[in-house]
Amino acid sequence: MTKILAVNAGSSSLKYQLLEMPSQEVITIGLVERIGFEDAIFNISFNGKKTETIQPILNHSVAVQLLLEALLDLKIVASYEEIAGVGHRVVHGGEKFSKSVVVTDEVLKELEVLSELAPLHNPANITGIKAFQEKLPNAVAVAVFDTAFHQTMEKDAYLYPLRYDLYEKFGVRKYGFHGTSHQYVAERAIDMLGKPAEDTKIITVHIGNGGSLAAVKGGRSIDTTMGFTPLAGIMMGTRSGDVDPAVIPFIMEKEGIDVAAAVNIFNKESGLTGVSGLSSDMRDIINAKDSGNEQAKTAFNLFTKRIADYIGSYYISLEGADAIVFTAGIGENSAPVREAVMGRLKILGIDINQEANQKRGEELLISTPESKVKVFVIPTNEELMIAKDTYAFVK
Ligand code: AMP
């Protein structure tokens, strides 16, 4: 048996899971928040008990130290040598990485170069990798990329119709994100469909605070809605998704703001928050809509229409679909969103079992036997994917 840590480091947070492999048992799970602050929050759940402490955690290295000490104190491990590998979520792998890799000095240099494409994410991921390397020098460090699964897209799917040298010089193209999640739920759906993987056509709908769809043919991503950055595609909690790019300079001029302020509007003040003027949380939107709030209703309708439109588009790209899969916070939990999206797709012969659609928290088939496309709800598990890829190198 081998213990593997799956890590997701943000600029001020560190999410982790310790798994036993190959049994896939989750031993412990936790989160460090507000790294860099005097009142940082450290939490760890073990044997059904959650412990939370508030203390100064001034950098990621301190966060890792605290986590490792907690693993010893709670007797989750007898020695650090038991942790054979640490798998890190890395947001951007560019065109360089189409699968997970062992982190070497060379790889770290590449990740630093790629920080230019993901300035909000890759530097934090690198900080996390270095903090664990310092404390666990003998564990195999593996980078698992959000972009990797989408590297199978063909040029006609990933290229923007822009001046070609912008792609050649700067790598301006569609990369796509949430790849680990799309791959996980697509693989689960392939299992559930019970037909040869190479014959399957699946549309995966990952809708949480961020959101994206992928068209998956024979287990490979052929298109996805996020783009050069995670701002493109469907409407999200606070992100706009697709808009006419000419809107950006127009708003900058009208509001008298610079590029950073304009980007902030599209990333932080748009989506469900922006349209509803209420909240980025779908639960709040649905409650408000149900009590007659018109703007919340507009936000809900925009949100579901944009998802349905992309499903229609991917149905064409895939030349049909065996299954549509809903996952992530909204996809797994919101029956009204699933119902509204599917209600817009009756033309595809999709028929939802209303009773099954009300359930949650488990893998579900929510379409009727008559439905021309199967509709699944599959809880995502990016940590398990990270642990599996890491374990493959440890072995
Ligand atoms: P995630 O980013 O995958 O963690 O998803 C977080 C989002 O899921 C929240 O912001 C909510 O909008 C949404 N969510 C979670 N539970 C529910 C629920 N029961 N109904 C509707 N939306 C939900």
Please give the pLDDT value at position 361.
Answer: 83
* Sign of the alpha-carbon dihedral angle for 268, 271, 276, 278: negative
| Residues near 287 by beta carbon (within 8 Å), at least 6 away in sequence | none
Nearest CA to ligand 1 atom 23: 330
pLDDT in tens, the chain (395 residues): 899 999 999 989 999 999 999 999 999 999 999 999 999 999 999 999 999 999 999 999 999 999 999 999 999 999 999 999 999 999 999 999 999 999 999 999 999 999 998 888 999 999 999 999 999 999 999 999 999 999 999 999 999 999 999 999 999 999 999 999 999 999 999 999 999 999 999 999 999 999 999 999 999 999 999 999 999 999 999 999 999 999 999 999 999 999 999 999 999 999 999 999 999 999 999 999 999 999 999 999 999 999 999 999 999 999 999 999 999 999 999 999 999 999 999 999 999 999 999 998 899 999 999 999 999 999 999 999 999 999 999 98
| Residues near 361 by beta carbon (within 8 Å), at least 6 away in sequence | 332, 333, 379
250-265: burial string, b at 16+ Cβ within 10 Å, e else: eebeeeeeeeeebeeb
Q: pLDDT by residue (tens digit) across 175-231? A: 999 999 999 999 999 999 999 999 999 999 999 999 999 999 999 999 999 999 999
As for ligand 1, residues whose beta carbon falls within 6 Å of it are: 208-209, 237, 280-283, 328-330, 333-334
Please give the pLDDT value at position 119.
Answer: 87
Beta strands in the chain (DSSP E): 2-9, 14-21, 25-33, 37-46, 49-57, 83-90, 101-102, 140-145, 201-207, 211-217, 220-224, 323-327, 364-365, 374-377
Read off the amino acid at residue 195.
Answer: K
Q: pLDDT by residue (tens digit) across 353-387? A: 999 999 988 999 999 999 999 999 999 999 999 99
Please give the pLDDT value at position 1.
Answer: 80
Nearest CA to ligand 1 atom 11: 281
Nearest CA to ligand 1 atom 10: 281
pTM beyond 0.85: the answer is: yes
Measured from the Cα of 282, ligand 1's closest atom is 12
Place of tokens 């949480």: 208
> How many Cα neighbours within 13 Å face the side chain of 254?
7
In the reported structure, the alpha carbon of residue 282 is separated from the centroid of ligand 1 by a whole-number distance in angstroms of: 6
Tokens representing residue 84 in the block = 């054979």
Active-site positions? 146
Task: Tell me 260's DSSP state.
Answer: H
Please give the pLDDT value at position 73.
Answer: 95
Measured from the Cα of 360, ligand 1's closest atom is 19
Helix/strand/coil for 83: strand
